[in-house]
Chain A
């Protein structure tokens, strides 16, 4: 069974640019979650998508947005990039949005802002 895949592995941008990160969940999983992991900090919840709809979002500004496609893959968009957006962005998927369902993580996209 293929795991959660994320692309690209690394992404380098400059301040003010826009970044798009992509995630393919495990086959059969309908829920996709996005997290930000800045250096030295814990995982910060960004967004949760289930069945194509945004179900919840964390305490991040509106320039962080995303969507989930009919095949349940997802993309995260970050507009007007700032230096503090440099972080590892992790995507996870689960078979449903219930908290008793384990989340399976991809290996992340390392976003660096110059």
Chain B
């Protein structure tokens, strides 16, 4: 069964600190992995997309890594800001037609 597990479920950090969110998946056959940011009351917004051959992708202060062998991905946030407070969702796609597998998300709270 295709599954996407995210950890931690929630996280509180001080403004200016770094943090790393984890995503483990058992989805097969793998096509790509995306990280989305979802602000409260808003729809998710794509941060990064990574294919099998990519192991690092950056978008400003967000850096995603992918280890396709161990089926793990991480999202590292550098120098966190209050606006980073949101839910971060890992989504893994397969190559077989439409098949998006969503993690339950990590809820991040950045405090002053």
Contact = CB atoms under 8 A, between A and B. Distances in A.
B110 interface: no
B32 A99 contact: yes
A4 B104 contact: no
Interface in B53-98: 89, 93-95, 97-98
A107 B98 CA distance: 22
A interface SS class: loop
Nearest to A42: B104
Question: What is the interface residue range for chain A against chain B?
Answer: 20 to 34
B93 A102 contact: no
A48 B100 CA distance: 11
B32 A107 contact: no
Given A56-B98, A107-B42, A99 B104 contact: no
Contact of A105 (B32, B43, B49, B94): B43
A106 B49 CA distance: 19
B94 A99 contact: yes
A56 B46 CA distance: 22
Contact of A107 (B43, B94, B100, B105): B43
A95 to B, nearest CB: 14
A54 to B, nearest CB: 11
B102 interface: yes
Nearest to B49: A102
Contacts of A41: 104
B104 A105 contact: no
A43 interface: yes
Nearest to A55: B98
Contacts of B12: none
Interface of B: 31-32, 34, 41-46, 49, 51, 89, 93-95, 97-100, 102-105
In order of increasing CB-CB distance, the 7 nearest A-B pairs are A105-B43, A99-B93, A42-B104, A43-B102, A107-B43, A42-B102, A99-B31
